[in-house]
């Protein structure tokens, strides 16, 4: 049994980005299921880990870290500092943090909300958020023009966070065919050693 436990849900993009990074840096952990649609997140003992009742939450011995971006920074600084997933160069460091913020901000809301609206049969929300999704995709695609990765000449935490967002966007009925730079970049991420795919929620473009 590992000292590290990850509380999350297989359909959560925020959970996936943490699980993906753990796999890439080859760090073992126990996967702890948290019910996405149920009341478990609002009840003890989960609320003792994160009073906000949100997933994911990482428990590393006596250390408890909620929020996917905070978890990624903690893991990068604690277990993979020599791999430079969070660059030391000030401009690159700032750029990575920008993408971490974007992954949790209003611009990304459409990319993460669309598949959840569809999964839980709320199509009225999908119409509005799909427009936001395409704006977000266009922005990311422009940043990848002539670049293999979002920030540096190698993958960083920016790529880890954005990958899960983009894949959830395509699962939520957003067509990626117009975004050739993103498609190339997705292949790059998926070619990383230790890559694990987003679990199919059976939403898909045909839903």
Q: How does pLDDT run across 74-124, given as a tens digit for each residue?
A: 999 999 999 999 999 999 999 999 999 998 875 555 444 434 434 444 444
Q: Is the pLDDT of residue 168 over 50?
A: yes
CA distance 118 to 61: 37
Structure tokens at 143: 């940043």
What's the half-sphere exposure (Cβ side, CA atoms, 13 Å) at 96? Answer: 24
Q: Is 130 a residue whose pLDDT tops 60?
A: no
- List, for residues 8-30, the tens digit of each pLDDT value: 988 888 999 999 999 999 999 99
pLDDT classification of 155: cutoffs 50, 70, 90: very high
Report whether 168 contacts 98 (CB < 8 A).
no
pLDDT, the chain, mean: 83
Q: What pLDDT score was predicted for residue 29?
A: 97
Domains along the chain? 4-82 (3.40.30.10), 90-190 (1.20.1050.10)
Q: Cα 69 to the chain's mean position, in Å?
A: 8
pLDDT at 1: 59
């Amino acid at each position: 049994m590992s000292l590290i436990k990850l509380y999350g849900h297989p359909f959560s993009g925020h959970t996936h980005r943490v699980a993906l990074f753990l796999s890439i840096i080859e760090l073992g952990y126990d996967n702890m299921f948290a019910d996405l649609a149920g009341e478990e997140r609002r009840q003890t003992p989960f609320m003792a880990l994160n009073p906000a009742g949100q997933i994911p939450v990482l428990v590393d011995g006596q250390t408890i870290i909620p929020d996917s971006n905070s978890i990624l920074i903690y893991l990068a600084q604690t277990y993979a500092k020599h791999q430079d997933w969070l660059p030391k160069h000030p401009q690159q460091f700032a750029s990575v943090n920008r993408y971490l913020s974007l992954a949790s901000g209003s611009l990304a809301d459409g990319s993460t909300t669309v598949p959840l609206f569809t999964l839980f049969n709320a199509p009225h929300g999908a119409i509005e958020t799909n427009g936001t999704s395409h704006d977000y995709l266009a922005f990311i695609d422009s940043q990848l023009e002539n670049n293999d990765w979002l920030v540096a000449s190698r993958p960083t935490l920016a790529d880890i966070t954005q990958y899960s967002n983009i894949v959830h966007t395509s699962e939520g009925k957003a067509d990626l065919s117009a975004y050739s730079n993103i498609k190339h970049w997705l292949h790059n991420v998926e070619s990383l050693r230790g890559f694990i795919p987003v679990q199919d929620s059976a939403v898909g473009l045909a839903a």
